[in-house]
Structure 1
Amino acid sequence: MQTKKDPITVDAFHYDRVSPDVEPQQNIQVSLVTISEEDPYLQEADLSAGNIYQIVTPFQVAPEKSGFAVSGQISQVVQLLDFFSEPNEIDQKDMIKLSRPLIEYIETLTYQVTAVALNRGVQLQFTAQANED
C-alpha cells in the first residue's frame, strides 16, 4: 500500500517512577480515524489521490519489575494512495505496517527517557498481534 505520511506527533508522553512490584501492563491501541471534512488540514489536501486518516496510538505500559510506567498518545496523518474505502477494510498486515513507526516511537521515547531518569535505557520491544474476528 502506497502512502504519503506527515511527521509523527507526540500528543502526550508521561513517565512515572512506580514500585517494582506494580502489576505489569502493556496496553497499546491502534486506531485509524477519518479526518473530519471541516478539518483545515483537508483544505490543502488532494483527496483525489486517496483517503486521509489519522493513526492514533494511545498507550499505557509498565514493564515487569522495571520501577517505571509510561503512558501517552502518538499520532500521524497518512494518505492512503488509491484507497477510497472505509478504514475497517484495510488489511491487518497493512495496518501493522502503517502503525509500526508509531510503536517504534514509543520504544525510542521510553529508551531515551529511562536513560536519563534511571541512568540506564530500557529497551521495549513490542510485537503486533492480529485481532481474532
Structure 2
Amino acid sequence: MHFRRQPIFVQAFHYDLSMRSPEDTTGIGVQLQKLYDDEIDQMGLKVPKGGSVMKVIIPFDFIPPQQNFDISGIMNQIVVIEGFDGKESELPEEAVKKLSRPIIELIETLTYEVTTLVLDKGINLNFVAKSEKAEDVDEVDDSESESE
C-alpha cells in the first residue's frame, strides 16, 4: 500500500477549563469513510486502478491525566490509498494506525502549543508509546500531500 495524503482539515479544536471527570469524556477515536466516484471527482483526485480514497476522521474529547482542562474537536484528512480497494473494515490495523498518526500528532502539537500559551508550560500528550511511534508499517509507503 502507498498513501498520498491531502492536508489535514481541522473542523474544530477546543481547549476548555474543565471540572468534568475523565470518565465523562469520550477519548479519542478513529473513523474511516470510503469515498466514492462522485466525491472523488469533485475533489479532482487521481486514483490509480486498484486504489481507493478514505477520509480519516478523528473525533476527540479528553482530559489529560492530572489536568483541569479538556481538549475536544474533530479533524480529518483525505488519503488516496494505492494498492487497496476494499472496505474500511478490511484495512489492516497497522495501516489504520499509520493513516491516523499525522492527525493524532497534530492534536498533540496543538495541545502543547495552546498549553504553553495558556498555562505557561506545555503539556505533552503521548497517545502512542514511543516504541510504537518509531516503528514503520511493513509494506506501507506514506507519502506527503498530493499536489495536483
Q: TM-score range by the shorter chain?
A: 0.7 to 0.9
- Which residue matches 1:105? 106
For the residue of structure 1 that corresponds to 2:48, the secondary structure is helix
**Who is 2:143 aligned against?**
none
Query: Percent identity among equivalent residues?
Result: 36
- Which is further off, 71-80 or 45-54? 45-54
Residues in 2 aligned to 1:81 and 1:96: alpha-carbon distance in whole angstroms: 17
- Corresponding position of 2:141: none
Structure 2 unaligned residues grouped into runs of 5+: 130-148
Contact 1:26 1:62 in 2 (8 A): no
Indicate whether 1:23 and 2:21 are aligned: yes
* Aligned pairs for 1:3-18 within 5 A: 3-18=3-18
Give the alignment's Cα RMSD to 1 decimal: 1.7
| TM-score (normalised: structure 1) | 0.85
Displacement of 1:124 in angstroms is: 0.6
SS at the partner of 2:57? strand
Query: How far does residue 5 in structure 1 lie from its aligned partner after superposition?
Result: 0.5
Q: TM-score, normalised by structure 2?
A: 0.77
* Greater Cα shift, 58-67 or 103-112: 58-67
Q: Flag the structure with more relative contact order, 1 or 2, with Cα contacts below 8 A and sequence separation at least 6.
A: 2
Whether the 8 Å contact between 2:36 and 2:53 is mirrored in structure 1 is: no
Instruction: Figure out how many residues of one structure are paired with residues of the other and give that number.
Output: 125
**How big is each residue's C-alpha offset from its partner over 1:100-121, in whole Å with a ceiling of 9 and x where there is no partner?**
1111111001000111111111
1:38 alignment partner, SS class: helix
Runs of 4+ aligned structure 1 residues displaced above 4 Å come to none
Amino acid at match of 1:91: P
